[in-house]
Structure 1
Amino acid sequence: MEVAVLPGDGIGPEVTEATLAVLEAVAKRHALGLRFTSHRAGAMAYRDTGTDLSDEVFEACRRADAILLGAMGWPGIRAADGTELAPQITLRQRLGLYAGIRPIRAIPGVPLALADPRAAEIDLVILRESTEGLFYSKDRGTVTEDWAEETLRLTRPVTERLARRAFILAGQRRHRVTLVDKANVFRAFAWMRDIFTTIAADHPDVRFDAAYVDAMALDLLRRPWEYDLLPTENMFGDILSDLGAGLIGGMGFAPSADVGDEYAVFQPSHGTAPDIAGRALANPTAMILSAAMMLDWLGEAPMQEAAAELREAVDRAFAGGLRTPDIGGAHGTAEAARRVIAALGGKGS
C-alpha cells in the first residue's frame, strides 16, 4: 500500500515525523507492507513556488492508496484575495471527500474539561459534510463596496451519501444518529432533514433524531456522553468539532478523516500552531490517531488489527503517565511517539 504524505507547515512536519515512526513500528509488527512517499504542499510551498498544491502532487495523491496530511497554512502567507491557503479543502473538493469523520473520545489519563465523572464516557463522532454547505462558496463569494455574499449549497447525491454513511457508522457503534441542522430557519436544512428522515426508515435498528446547532452546542457541554453519531453541514461541523476537541483535552487529541467513495485523506484536526512550531512541543496524538483511522480505512484484516493496537497503545501511554505540554506535561513530540511505540502490544511506557 502506498501512502502519500504531505507534512505541510508549522508543526505539521514535526507531528508527521513522529507519526511515521509509530506507523513504521506497528507496520513492522504486523507486516503491513506500507510505503510512504513525501510531497510538498501548503503555505510554504506557495511562498516558494506560487502554488500550494501542484498538479504533480495532486496526481501523486490521487494515485496513492491513502493520503496522510499534516497541518497547513501560515500567518502572513495568503492567497491574492486575502484568504488562507487551504490545499486540504482543495483535496476534499477535487477528490469528492464528502464525509469528514471526526471522532471525539476521552482518552484515559488525559484531563477533561468537564468535572462530571461521566465525561470519561465521551465517545462520539461528528460527521461533517466536507465539500458543500457554506464551504461550497470557497473562491466563489462576491464582494462589492456595499455588500458581500457567500452561498450555502447542498445537493441530493452528496446529502444522501452522507446520510447513508451516518447510519452505517452508527450501526457499527451505539445505534444512534442525531442530525445537527438549523431547519427551523433555513429551507436548505429542512430539506436536508427530510432526506435523513427518509433514509432513516431503511435503518430501523438505528435511533434517529435531530437537533438545532445552537442547542447541540449547549448539549455538548451539558451531556456529550449521551451522543453517538452527529452528521451535520460543513461549517457547523467545522465549529462543533473544535468544541468537541476542547472536551477531551484539546486539538492535540482530535483526529479526522475526509472520506469519499474512492479516496480518503487523514489528518489531525488542529492547525499549524506557529507559536510552538520548531520547538519539539507539539502533541502528535491527533496525527497518530488519524493514522489509525487510515489503517482501518485501508480495510485488510492486518491493517484493522494494527489500527486497534495503535489506539490501545495511545490509551496505555497516557494512562501510564504520558503528559504532553498542551495538558501541562513535559513530554515533547518525540518522547510522546517513543512512549506510544513502547506501549504497542501491551508493553508499558
Structure 2
Amino acid sequence: MATYQIATIEGDGIGPEVTQAAMKVLTEACGSDTLSFEMRDGGAGHYVKSGEVLPEDTFVACRDMHAILHGAAGLPGIVYPDGTEVGNDLHLRLRFRLDLYANMRPVKLLRGVRSPLRDVEAGIDYVIVRENTEGLYASRGAGVLLRGEVASDTLVVTRKGTERVARFAFDLSRRRNGAPRDGKRRVTVCDKANILRTYAFFRAVCDEVATEYPDVEIDYAYADAITVHLVKKPDFYDVIVAENMFGDIISDLGAATAGGMGISPSGEIGDHQALFQGAHGSAPDIAGQNVASPLATILSGSLMLRWLSERHGDATLAGAADRIDAAVNTVLAEGIAVPRDLGGQAGCTEVADAVCRALG
C-alpha cells in the first residue's frame, strides 16, 4: 500500500484547528498508513518570529512531497512596508514558485444547507477555474508607485497561460456530469472582451482550445453580467474559466450562494504539485475557541485525495474522497453537527468527530 507524504502548513488564526480536524477525517477515511502529514512552518506568525513567511525548508517539502495541505494564513496588522498582507504571501509564493496555474473552486449546494437564493430547484453544482499566475496578479510586487501620487499595475495574459488553464477547464468538464439545469457539459468563459484587448485575447485563445473539445459546449459571460447570472440562474453553469482577478471575485460570490466561505474548498493545481485549503481566511477573532467550521478544509482534503488518485492511479483515494463527501452531506442533511456559520452550534472538533462517525 502506497504512503503519500503531505506537506502540511497549519498557518495562523483558525488554521491549526481546521487543519487538525481535516487530518483526523482524512486519516479516518484513508487509514492510518496511507497519508503521512509532515508538519512545516509558515505564515504571518512565523514571519513575526523569524522574518520568513515561507522558510526554504518548507518550500522544499512542498515541492518534493506528494501534495500540500494548508490551513489558513494571516494576522491583523502583520503587513509588509508597502501595506500588503504578509499572510497572503505564503500561498502566493507557493503558487508562483510551483507554477500552480489553475485555481479550482467548486461551488456546490450540499444537502441540508439553505441557499440565500430562492429558486434553485435544479441545484447549484459548478466549478470556477481561475487562471492563477497571470492576469492582474502578475503585477504582485512589481507595480509602480510614483512619488506617492500615481500607482499602476499591469494585467498580463499570455497564450501559454490561457491555453493551459482553458484545457484544464475543458478536461474538468469532461469528467463531470454537466450543468444541473440541462446536463450539458459546458465551459463558460468569463471576461471583458467587449472592452479590453487582454480579455478579447483571452477569449480568442479559449475559442481555439474549444475546437479540441467538440463534446463540450462553450459559453461566454462578461464579468459584470455573470454576477447577475450566478444569482439568477446558477444551475446553468458547469465549469467557468476566468482571468485571475475576475475569478477571485466571482468565486466568493458563488460560495455565498451555496452557504458561505465556511464550506468552500479550493485547490491550486499545477502540472506536478498542488495545494489545497479552505477558501476562507484565518479568522483570528475566533481562533482558539473551537467554534470555526472545519468543513471547507475537510472538503479541500477530499479534493486533494481526488487529485492524488488521478495523478497516481490509486482508485482507493477517490473512493475515500467519495466517502468524505457523502459523510459531510449526511452530517449536514440530518442536522447531526451543524457549524455556527450555517446556523448550528457545533464546534470544530464536534463537526470533525461527526464526519468521522458518518464515515463508518
Q: TM-score range, shorter-chain basis?
A: over 0.9
Tell me what 1:132 maps to.
Answer: 134
TM-superposed CA distance for 1:101, in Å, is 0.5
Is the counterpart of residue 170 in structure 1 residue 161 in structure 2? no
Structure 1 partner of 2:181: none
Q: Which residue of 2 aligns with 1:47?
A: 48
Q: Deviations over 1:152-171 (max 9, x none)?
A: 11111111101111111111
- 1:80 positional shift: 2.1
1:241-264 Cα distance to aligned partner (Å, 9 max, x none):
111111111101100000001010
Secondary structure of residue in 2 paired with 1:75? coil
Name the CA distance, whole Å, in 2 between partners of 1:186 and 1:41: 38
1:202 to 208, 212, 229: 212
Look up the match of 1:58. 59
The answer for the alignment partner of 1:222 in structure 2 is 232
CA deviations 1:107-154 (Å, max 9, x no partner) are: 100121112242x61000000111111110110011122210011111
Separation in structure 1 between the aligned mates of residue 251 and residue 347 of structure 2, nearest angstrom: 25
Q: Which residue of 1 aligns with 2:333?
A: 319
1:265-304 equivalence runs, <5 A: 265-299=275-309, 300-304=314-318
Letter in 2 for 1:48: K
Q: Which residue pairs with 1:72 in the alignment?
A: 73
Query: Which of the numbers 91, 94, 108 marks the counterpart of 2:111?
Result: 108
Aligned length in residues: 342
- The aligned counterpart of 1:142 is 144
* Corresponding residue for residue 244 of structure 1: 254
Q: Is the 2:120–2:234 Cα contact (8 Å) retained in structure 1?
A: no
Contact 1:32 1:303 in 2 (8 A): no
CA contact (8 A) 2:7 2:69 kept: yes
Instruction: Kindly state the Cα deviation for residue 237 of structure 1 after the two structures are TM-superposed.
Output: 1.0
Kindly indicate whether residue 161 of structure 2 is the aligned counterpart of residue 151 of structure 1.
Answer: no
Is contact 2:324–2:359 with CA below 8 Å preserved after alignment? yes
CA separation in 2, counterparts of 1:185 and 1:6? Answer: 41
Alignment of 1:262 with 2:272, yes or no, is yes
**TM superposition outliers: structure 1 runs of 4+ over 4 Å:** none
Query: 1:94 — aligned with what?
Result: 97
Structure 1's 102 and 32: CA in aligned 2 closer, same or farther, altered over 3 A? farther
Paired residues of 1:32 and 1:302 also in contact (CA < 8 A): no
- Say whether 1:339 aligns with 2:342: no
Give the Å deviation of 1:172: 1.3
Match of 2:35 in 1: 34
1:2 aligns with 2:16: no
User: TM-score w.r.t. structure 2 length?
Assistant: 0.93
SS state of the match for residue 7, structure 1? strand
Query: Aligned with 2:79: secondary structure?
Result: coil
Gap runs ≥5 in structure 2: 179-184
1:300-342 per-residue CA deviation (whole Å, 9 max, x = no partner) reads 1001110111111100111110311112211000000011011
Contact 1:125 1:230 in 2 (8 A): yes
Q: What is the aligned-residue identity percentage? A: 46
Deviation at 1:32, TM superposition (A): 5.9
AA aligned opposite 2:272: E
Give me the whole-angstrom Cα distance separating, in 1, the residues matched to 2:203 and 2:255. 26
**Aligned-partner Cα distance in 1 for 2:296–2:33:** 22
The 2-side partners of 1:154 and 1:264 are apart by 22
CA separation in 2, counterparts of 1:216 and 1:117? 16
1:269-326 CA-to-partner distances (Å, cap 9, x unmatched) read: 0001122111111110000000000000112100111011111110011111031111
**1:107 maps to amino acid:** L
Residues 49-71 of structure 1, C-alpha deviations (whole Å, 9 max, x = no match): 00100111100111110000111
Aligned equivalents of 1:84, 1:235: Cα separation in 2? 17
Question: Residue in 2 aligned with 1:309?
Answer: 323
| RMSD (CA atoms) | 1.0
Indicate the residue corresponding to 1:122 in structure 2.
Answer: 124
